[in-house]
Structure 1
Amino acid sequence: MSKGCKITKIVILSVVVLLAVLALTLFTASGALKKAKYLDPWKPDYAKQFEDPRVQLMAHGLLAANSHNLQPWKIRLDKQNPLLLYLYTDNERLALESDPLTRQTLVSQGTFLEYMRVTGEQLGYFADIKLFPDGEYDEQNLKESMERKPVAKITLSKAKPQDNPLYEFMFLPDTNRMAYQPDEITPAQIQKLKQTNTDEDLVLSILNDKADIEKFGAFGVEGTDIETGLKRMNDESAGIFRTNEYQKNKYRYGFSFEGQGIMGLKKHLLQGMITIIPSFNNEEAATKLAVQATQTAVDHTPAYALILSKDNSRTSQVKAGMLYSRLILTAHEEGLVMQPLSQVLEEYPEMWKAYSEIHREYAPAGETIQFLIRLGRPTQDTPLSMRQEVTDLIAE
C-alpha cells in the first residue's frame, strides 16, 4: 500500500472518529438516553395508579390544551368530602407579556374542566361543575384574587359508566402546527363540529370560503410577525423553553422542540447544539423561522373555526375553553386536527390594530373572539408535549 493511501485512510478514520465524538457529545448534552418522564401522564393507564376518583379525573384534565403549555392549574381537595374538589388558577404560571389580561389563562381552565367532565362519564362519575362559586375575580387585585377564589367547584357523584366516544381521543396531541391536507371539510363534519356548542352565550363558526381562508391566513402571519418582533415576548418564551431532556424532566411544562413538530435524531441534535452553544438559537433566526412556519401552515389550511363569546367575562372565557376541548376531541374523532392561531387575539398595544381589524370584520356585534383555529386533515403526526405529575397540581 502506498504512503498516500495510508494517509488518506488515516484522514478518513480521523474524520469518522471526530464525527462520532461530536455526535456522542451532542446526544449526551441532549439527554437522549434519559427516560422521558414528562410523557408518563399521556399513558392511558396513568390515572389507574390513584385510588381517589378526583385525582383520576384530574390526571385526564392535565392532558388538555393550554396556553403556552404552562398548565396553570391548581387543585384543592376537600378534606371532609371525598368527592369534592376546587379548581384554581395557578397565579405563578402566568404569561403576562403575551397574555396581560390572563384571558388565555382562564380559557385554559375551561379546557381542563371539560376533559374532567368527559372522563367522569367514562369512569362512572357525574361532575357537577359550578363556575366561580365565590364570584369572579377582583380585577384590581388579580393575583391575590386567583389565590383566594376558585374557578370552579366540582362535585362528583357516582353514576353508571357511559362509553363516551370522545374519551380515547384525549390521549392524542391537542395541537398540530404542520401543513394540512387540501381536502375540504365535509358538510357532515361541519355539522358535527357545530353540534359541540350547546351554550347560548357562545358562537361557533366553521369557515371554509376561500376569501375567509385568505384573510385568516393573513391575520395569522401578521400576529406572528408582531409578537416575534417584540423582545419582551421572545424573552418570555425563551424563559420557558426547555432545551434538553434534563430540563424537560425537571420542569415538565413550557415549550420544547416537540411543539414545532421536531422529533427523533433531529430533535436531539438541535437540543445538544443549543445546550452546548445557547447562542445557536438566536432571536433573529427564531423569529424568521416562526413567521415562515406560520406562512407554510396557513398556506395549507382548508378551513378555520371561530369561537366567540357575547361578552368577555371570566365565566365566558372558561366556557369558551370547555367548548374548545369538545371541539378538538370531536375533530379527532373525525380524523381532523387543529391549531389555535392565538397571536392576533392577544391584548397588548402593539397588537391592537390587528386585534381590532379581525374583531371589526368577524365580531361586528361586539362579541369577543376567544379562538381562531386552523382545521384540517394532518399530513404528519405531531409529538406529545410535556406534562407535570398530577400530584404536583394539588395544593393545601
Structure 2
Amino acid sequence: MKKGRMTFPVILLALIVFLLSVLIAVFAISGCFLHTAYLDPWKKSYQNRFEDPRLKLTAHGLLAANSHNMQPWKIKLDKENSSVFYLYADSSKTTPEVDPHARQMMITQGSFLEYLKIAGEKLGTPVTITLFPEGVYDENNLSASMDTYPVASITLGKAAPKNTPLYDGIFLPDTNRGIYSPTLPSAAAVSLLTDTQEYSGISAYLYQAPDQVQSIGQIAMDAAVIEGNTKRVMKETEEIFRANEYQKNKYRYGFSVEGQGSKGIMKHFLQAAVTLFPSMNSGKAQTDNFMNSTRTSIENTPSYLLLTTKDNSRISQVEAGMLYSSCILKAHNLGLAMQPLSQALEEYTEMISVYEKIHSQYGNGDTIQMLLRVGYPKQSAPLSMRQDVSSLLLK
C-alpha cells in the first residue's frame, strides 16, 4: 500500500459519516425533531385543558373540515351568560381568488357547528344553535359584516351525556385524497349518506353508475385544469403552503406536503427540499403536482356525493356545511372516506363554463354546495394542522 492512500474501511467510514451528516441536516431543515404542537388538538385529552364547557366544545369544533384548511373561525364568549357563546367568520382568513363570494367559507362555519352539536350531546351540554341571530351580512360590505355579525349563537343546555355513534369520528381526518377501492358503497350506506330529513331544503345525491362517475370525474378534471392554469388562484394557494415543521407550528393552518401523500421519512426529505428550493412548489411544478394528484384521485373514485340547496342564501350555505360534517362522520362509521373536489363549484370568472355545466347536468335546479369523492380508502389519511383554541377567541 502506497503511503497516503486511503484504505477501503476509511473511505467507507467517511462515506457513512457524510451520509449521516446529510440525513441529520435534512431532518433539521424539515424540523423532524420538533414537537408537532399543531397536532395536539387532535388528542381526545386536549379538551381537558379547559374548564369552560364552551371552550371544550370549541376544541371539538376546530377539528371540522374547512376550506383550504384556513380554519376561519372566531369565538366570542358571552360575558353575562356562561352558557352562551358566538361563532364569527374570520374575515382575515378569506380566500378571495377561489372563493370570491365566501360561499365555501360559510360551509366551513356549518361544519364547525355540526361538530359542536355532536360533542355537546356526548359531553352532556347539548347546544341550541341560532343562525345569524343579529341579522345576515351586508353583501356589499362583506368583510366588515363578518366582523360585526355572528354566524351563530350557541346556547348550552344540561342533560345526561349521550353516547352518540358519531362522536369518535370527530378525531379522525376529515379528508382522504388517496386511492379508493372500486367497491361501491352498499345500499345501506347510500341510504344513510343521502338522508337529509334533518335539514329542510337540502338534498344529497350519490352517483355510482359508471357513465355518471365518468361524467362527473371529467367535469372535475376540467375544473382542475382551469384552476391549475389560473396563476392568481395558484398563487393564493402557494402563499398558505407550509414547507416544514417550523412553519406548521407557527401558522397551524394552510397546506403541507402531507396533503400530497407524503409521509414518514419521505415527508421530511420533501419538506427539506421544498424549504431549500421553494420553486418545487410554485409555478409549473405546483400546477403539475396539483393536476397529477387530482387525476389520480378521479381515476380511483367509485362514486360521488353531491349536496344541493334550494337557494344559495347564507343560511343554506351554513346548513349545507352542517350536513357535510354529518356525512363525514357517518362515512367514518361505514369505513368510507371522502374528499371534496371544490374547483367545479367555484365562482370566479374562469370557472363559469364548468360551473354552469355541472349545475345544468347535476344541479336539478338547485345550487350544488359540495362535490365529494366517496369510497373505501386503500390507505389512511394524515391529520392536518389545527390551531389552538386560544387563537380563536375574540375579546
Identify the TM-score tier after normalising by the shorter chain: over 0.9
Over aligned residues, Cα RMSD in angstroms? 1.5
Where 1:272 maps in the other structure, the secondary structure is helix
Q: 1:245 to 1:211 in 2, by over 3 A?
A: same
Counterpart in 1 of 2:317? 317
Structure 2 residue 368 is the aligned partner of structure 1 residue 374: no
Q: 1:309 to 1:196 in 2, by over 3 A?
A: closer
* Distance of 1:126 and 1:320 partners within structure 2: 21
Counterpart in 2 of 1:358? 358
Q: 1:142 to 1:36 in 2, by over 3 A?
A: same
Where 1:391 maps in the other structure, the secondary structure is helix
Counterpart in 1 of 2:392? 393
Query: Could you give the per-residue CA deviations for residues 170-193 of structure 1, whole angstroms, max 9, x where no partner exists?
Result: 100000001101111110111121
Contact 1:179 1:297 in 2 (8 A): yes
* Distance of 2:11 and 2:225 partners within structure 1: 47
Return the TM-score normalized by structure 1: 0.97
One-letter code of the match for 2:388?
E
Where 1:45 maps in the other structure, the secondary structure is helix
* Distance of 1:100 and 1:350 partners within structure 2: 12
Counterpart in 2 of 1:225? 225
**Aligned residue pair count:** 395
Percent of aligned pairs with the same amino acid: 49
* Distance of 2:203 and 2:195 partners within structure 1: 11
**How far off its partner does 1:6 sit?**
4.3
Counterpart in 2 of 1:48? 48
Counterpart in 1 of 2:332? 332
Contact 1:106 1:318 in 2 (8 A): yes
Q: Mapping of 1:261-300 within 5 angstroms?
A: 261-300=261-300
Query: Could you give the per-residue CA deviations for residues 47-68 of structure 1, whole angstroms, max 9, x where no partner exists?
Result: 1221111100010000000001
Contact 2:173 2:384 in 1 (8 A): yes
One-letter code of the match for 2:230?
L
Compare 27-36 and 230-239 and name the one that shifted more.
230-239
Structure 2 residue 349 is the aligned partner of structure 1 residue 349: yes
Contact 1:184 1:302 in 2 (8 A): yes
* Distance of 1:139 and 1:286 partners within structure 2: 33
**How far off its partner does 1:260 sit?**
2.0
Query: Could you give the per-residue CA deviations for residues 158-205 of structure 1, whole angstroms, max 9, x where no partner exists?
Result: 112110000001100000001101111110111121225521210111
Q: 1:189 to 1:15 in 2, by over 3 A?
A: same
Where 1:97 maps in the other structure, the secondary structure is coil
**How far off its partner does 1:9 sit?**
4.8
* Distance of 2:282 and 2:141 partners within structure 1: 37
Unaligned 5+ runs, structure 1? none
**How far off its partner does 1:110 sit?**
0.1
Counterpart in 2 of 1:150? 150
One-letter code of the match for 1:374?
R
Counterpart in 2 of 1:62? 62
One-letter code of the match for 1:384?
L
Where 1:158 maps in the other structure, the secondary structure is coil
Counterpart in 2 of 1:26? 26
Return the TM-score normalized by structure 2: 0.97
**How far off its partner does 1:120 sit?**
0.3
Where 2:324 maps in the other structure, the secondary structure is helix
Structure 2 residue 251 is the aligned partner of structure 1 residue 251: yes
